[in-house]
Structures are given as structure tokens and as C-alpha cells.
Amino acid sequence: MENTKDIFTRLRAGETIRSGDPEAYKMRDASYATKVLLLEMNNASDPTEIRRLMSQITGTEIDESVAIFTPLYINYGKHTKIGKNVFINFDCVFLDLGGITIEDNVLLAPKVSLLSEGHPILPAERQSLVPGHIHIKKGAWIGANATILPGVTIGENAVVAAGAVVSKDVPDNTIVGGVPAKTIKSI
């Protein structure tokens, strides 16, 4: 039986998209449409204009308390949800086909990568796309050049040290660091 759900709905539901999926072209088309808005946003200097364009990219209203230092890179945008009083520093990357939720009072340092999608290990299946929702809870701080991998939840008030690669959930009020990230201490 052929899947009748839209590819973006299937991605948000965590379904692996096989390389020959008849709707796969929609992901690239959507990314190219997002790129047009990104070029405009990344060349804007007015914070209000940046938020307006980010609202268009995400399809949601970005609160006036949110600060985004461009450039910012997003491959889709419609699966990104951003809370209030969020700070996104320069050169962050959001691959959001699997979904990214950033709650209130989150700080993202420069060059943070939120990668909600990946590929299977087996070479014969590697062209498939495996989504995994990323959830960053209230008050978390993600350090410079940290990478959050698909399916990871960062707990409330947690800190991810600079350069960490996070492949597992981080509990509330915990500091993690390293490659792969491990618990350093509780706050």
C-alpha cells in the first residue's frame, strides 16, 4: 500500500524516507524556497526585519524578544519552533526536517548545529533520510560549535560545553561536554 501522507508530515512523525520516495523532490524544492528567504534574512541588519523573515521561514510568529545574529542556515524552516527570549548567535545551522523545538530563554552560541536528520549506516540504505526531533528545553545553554544530533532532548537549564557532540538526551540541570558528550556535573 502506497503511503498517502505528505512527505513533511511523515518526516515530523519520524518516518524514514527511502531514497526512491516519489515525494523526495519536495524536500529539495522546499529547501530552495527557504534559501531565497535566507539570503534576504542573512543580508538584513534590522532585528525586526530578521524576525519577520524568520517568521516567514518557520511559518510561525517569532516573538520580539528573540534575537538572531545572522548568518543563520536552515534547510527547511517549517519544522522549527522558537520560544520567547531566545538568543541565536552567528553561524548556526538548523537541519529541521525531523523537527526542532527551542523553548523559552535558550542561548545558542556561535556555530551551534542542530541536526534533526541523518542517514542509515548501511551503504545500501545510506541515501535514505532518518529524522529525529530535537527538543531544547527552557533555559538551556548550548556552547560554541556544539552539535546536537537527531532525536536528542536537552533538559531544562542544561549546559552543553563548547565543541560537544550530543548523541543522547541531557537531563535537566546537567552540564555535558566532549565527543561524544558525557555528563560533567549537575548544576
State the catalytic residues.
Answer: 119
CA atoms of 11 and 106, how far apart (whole Å): 25
Instruction: Report yes or no: 96 and 80 within 8 Å, Cβ to Cβ.
Output: yes
- How many alpha carbons lie under 13 Å from residue 100 in its C-beta half-sphere? 22
CA nearest neighbour of 94 among 119, 71, 70, 77:
77
- Residues in Cβ contact with 9 at an 8 Å cutoff, skipping those fewer than 6 apart: none
CA atoms of 54 and 52, how far apart (whole Å): 5
Neighbours of 27 (CB within 10 A): 19
φ/ψ of residue 116, rounded to 5: -90, 20
CA atoms of 71 and 50, how far apart (whole Å): 10
SS3 category, 82: strand
Identity of residue 1: M
